[in-house]
Amino acid sequence: MDKTTKTVVKAIGFTVAAIAVLILLFGSFYTIKEQEQAVVTTFGVPSTVSEPGLHMKIPFIQKVQKVDTTIKGFAIGYDETTSIAKEDESLMITSDYNFVNVDFYVEYQVSDPVKALYASGEPVKILKNVAQSCIRSVVGQYEVDSVITDGKSEIQTAIKERIITALTEHEIGIRLVNITIQDAEPPTTEVMEAFKAVETAKQGMETAINNAKKYQNEKLPNAEAQVDKILKEAEATKEARINEAEGQAARFNALYEEYIKYPLITKQRMYYEAMEELLPNLKLIIDSSDGAIDKWLPLDSWSEDIAPAVAN
């Protein structure tokens, strides 16, 4: 081998070596972005999970699989790109045997990169199947009126709890972030209009109740004041009657004591006092000289009869 050939061979050798060194050098480092994680495998077996930043690995022996850890989501009941309904996913039956179309949006995030890559082939598909099963189970426990109107929040919470429990059992490396009802409506236009009418009636009922409460709040203080006034007047009347009765009882007792001492005199005095009270303007002469029943001699009637005769 001549000198020129040796030089060429050496140059090729140095070039190959340089390329190999470059390959080894650049193949030994990798970068993980924010909201990413990487699973490093050694001879195909997961060994470590790398966080964001610059890392080193053994070329040809270790491989890196990056996993996106941002929050992602998918729709159930409709197509995200076209917004066209998927009745095979959205159509459900409620506890009162009515049909309803309910659309959901599921948000999830990778919680364990190793399990997300190796525990199952399609973790997102498993999550969707679990979510659909839990959705149908929970919706089937509620009446259609609750699903469409005021029960959505409670239904979402119940579904979320069931999905979280199911994912704990499956261990697919994905966690549920949230699930929300996007829309819920009856499957036909006629039924939809009926439910709108029911909702309008409910709002009318709430308005009537609020107006009634307002009227009550306006009138109740006045009514309570009137009741308080009446009670106070009744209490005052009662006290007056009691005082009057007690006074009359005291006078009667005093009079009775006098009667015991002087029965005849007391009797005559009581009689005269009664006559003065009953006949204050009547002019009489009471004759009881014979000891029998008193005689009443009305002077007014005599004066009225004598006056015309004197005038004639």
Average pLDDT over residues 185-194: 71
- Cα(31)–Cα(120) distance, integer angstroms: 26
Question: H or E element: which one contains 128?
Answer: helix 123-139
Higher pLDDT, 186 or 133: 133
CA 131 to the chain's CA centroid: 27
**Quick one: what percent of the chain has pLDDT higher than 90?**
23
Provide CB contacts within 8 A for 309, sequence distance 6+: none
Q: Where are the domains of the chain?
A: 3-67, 72-187, 188-277, 281-312
Among 6-15, 40-49, 242-251, where is mean pLDDT lowest? 6-15
Question: H or E element: which one contains 20?
Answer: helix 3-27
- Cα(310)–Cα(57) distance, integer angstroms: 155
Q: Would you say 172 and 123 are in contact if contact means Cβ atoms under 8 Å apart? A: yes
Provide CB contacts within 8 A for 63, sequence distance 6+: 40, 41, 44, 57
Residue 251 is predicted with a pLDDT of 81
Computed over every residue of the chain, the mean pLDDT equals: 79
For residue range 260-293, list pLDDT tens digits in order.
877 887 777 777 777 777 666 656 555 555 554 4
- Give the other-Cβ count within 10 Å of 182's Cβ: 14
For 10, list phi and psi in degrees, rounded to 5: -60, -40
pLDDT at position 103 over 90: yes
Residue 98 is predicted with a pLDDT of 83
- Cα(39)–Cα(45) distance, integer angstroms: 10
Which numeric CATH code is attached to 72-187?
3.30.479.30
Q: What is the DSSP letter of 51?
A: P
Half-sphere exposure of 234 (CA within 13 A, CB side): 6
Q: Would you say 58 and 78 are in contact if contact means Cβ atoms under 8 Å apart? A: no
For residue range 110-153, list pLDDT tens digits in order.
999 988 888 888 899 999 999 999 999 999 999 988 998 889 99
- Give the other-Cβ count within 10 Å of 112's Cβ: 19
Higher pLDDT, 255 or 179: 179
In the sheet with 36-42, reading across from the earlier edge strand, the strands are 45-50, 36-42, 62-68
Higher pLDDT, 231 or 291: 231
